[in-house]
Amino acid sequence: MADVAAVDPLDLVLQHASALDQITYSTESGEAAPDLLSSSLIHFPSHPTPLSRALRTRVLRSRNSPALAQDSTSTPNSFDDASHAEDFLPLDALIFILQTQAEAVGLYAVKATRERVARVDTLDRPSLLEFLLGKKTECEVVLSKAECAARDARRPSRQAAAAGAEAGATADATSQDASAAAVPSSAEASGSAVPLHPLLASGKRPYNPSKQDQAFVKRLRTSEVILRDRAWAFRCTVAKAGDGADDDDDSLNLDGATKGAMRSAASKEVDFTPLRRSVAGRIQAARSGGSSSSAPSSRAPPGQSTSAAAPSSNLGRSAKHRRLDPIFILPSSPSSLLTLANIKRFLEEGHYDPPSSSNSLAPMGGSNEVVVISRPKGGRFLAVDSLDALSRLGARGGSGQDADPWRRVVCVVTTGQKWQFKGYRWEEGRDLFRNVFGVYPRWSNEAKDGNVKEWNVLDLQIDANKRHHDAQISGMFWRQLEEWMGRRRPDLA
């Protein structure tokens, strides 16, 4: 048999791709075989010697094969790794591809698997078929002859480099073993059985940190601040005299008295918590909805002690806090989906009662004209559906600005009808919903009113039959309202 290394099986396949019927097959014993799958040798008319059907070709299984990497030196006759041998398709796989070229991709894969024939990747089969049939001169999964020759030329130098690296690694291992063996020799000479340190036993050198790194870590630890609690951030350590204390004081932007106190307390911790206590009154006033000017004065009037003045101030602030309950205004229209009868249960329990149900015939949680709604974060809201009830809330509130109930109106529920705003402070919908939070409740299967499209309102869509959605809708209302109040009405939030 001729030297198969000098034969390019891919060239033979390309020559006979259009005349597959001229290719014959035989077994190892030389007997004729009826087809490719039952044969061992393949006979080409242009080549006198039969070739083994397992002969590797320059065609690879996939464009993602490791043998296609740029640094690879694998060829059909020599491989970098034993696993690369399976990347190159055998001769019978190319003939099988040509024989099944009319088959669909899925059927080709099934037949190749069933007959145990190597198959090309599904995505690369069309391109390879065009190459084998002469429709194109290059293919992504085919190594050219020039590439194979270049890889053969690179292989000796690569093997020499690998051998040198292996020899160097062996020499290093030998020297490490020798140095490790030298350690117990002195111990054995002294007659004491001293166990080896784990680093010496493993042949690894101990880590020696640089002095520069040690100095940096030492400086870093000297300036480190450990926060023991939330108030500890108000403390600092003052440098000694002559150690840059003046520069530190200037960077803190403190007054002369404070700088003097800090210099006298050199090398001691300085507590800045009195600064926090000095603004505690302003913080408390801001949290309770008032301003810093409305905080209770620490000075008592003439003839009255400070202890006697404090209770009256606290009582005044509590009464004001009670007067600042935010107000909802509901429409008095019978077509409204939210009324005094059902809004309390909807916002507190997340359950909506339609106006026609028996559960919403009478108001809950208040008088007939005012309904008290508990707020999720604490506190309460008042809901009314008439301007008379709103004005009575203002009359009970006190005098001056506190008597104006519109200062506490945060939400207006609308049905989309403009006549609802008659008598309001802002009778135009656009002006009204620029100053208060607007809500437009409607059935989810009904169209939105044309007037509402021009107003800045929350479109609250309620399902007529799915009550398990009520809690989600109620939660969305509270989130939107609390966010609006935090931005626009922080005194009531």
Q: Which CATH class is domain 322-488?
A: alpha beta
200: which residues sit within 8 A by CB, 6+ positions away?
Answer: 180, 183
SS3 of residue 378 by DSSP: coil
SS3 of residue 42 by DSSP: strand
Burial 332-360 (b: 16+ CB within 10 A, else e): eeeebbbbbbbbbbbbeebebbeeeeeeb
- This prediction's pTM: 0.37
SS3 of residue 241 by DSSP: coil
Kindly tell me the sign of the dihedral angle through the C-alpha atoms of 11, 14, 16, 21: positive
Residue with tokens 């270049």: 150
Kindly tell me the sign of the dihedral angle through the C-alpha atoms of 150, 152, 157, 161: positive
Nearest to 323 by CA among 387, 377, 404, 383: 404
A 10 A CB-CB count for 168 gives: 10
Per residue of the chain (493 residues), give pLDDT as tens: 444 556 788 889 998 888 888 899 999 888 889 899 899 999 998 888 899 998 989 898 888 888 888 778 888 877 766 667 788 899 999 999 999 999 998 899 899 999 899 989 888 899 999 999 999 988 988 988 888 888 888 877 766 666 665 655 555 555 555 555 554 544 444 444 555 555 455 555 677 878 888 888 888 888 776 676 766 666 665 554 444 444 444 544 445 544 554 444 444 566 667 777 788 888 887 877 644 444 444 444 444 444 344 433 343 444 444 457 899 999 988 888 998 989 999 999 989 988 776 455 545 444 468 899 988 888 889 999 888 888 888 766 555 566 788 888 999 999 888 888 889 999 898 999 999 999 999 998 888 888 888 899 999 999 888 889 999 999 999 999 999 998 888 888 7
Rounded distance between C-alpha atoms, residue 124 and residue 143, angstroms: 14
Question: 166: burial class by Cβ within 10 Å (0-12, 13-18, 19+)?
Answer: exposed
Q: Map out the domains of the chain as residue ranges.
A: 4-150, 322-488
Rounded distance between C-alpha atoms, residue 31 and residue 215, angstroms: 86
The partner residues of 461 in beta bridges, in order of sequence, read: 442
142: which residues sit within 8 A by CB, 6+ positions away?
Answer: 10, 58, 59, 60, 128, 131
8 A C-beta contact, residue 462 and residue 445: no
Burial 256-284 (b: 16+ CB within 10 A, else e): eeebeebeeeeeeeeeeeeeeeeeeeeee
CA distances from 372 to 99, 344, 400 (A): 85, 7, 24
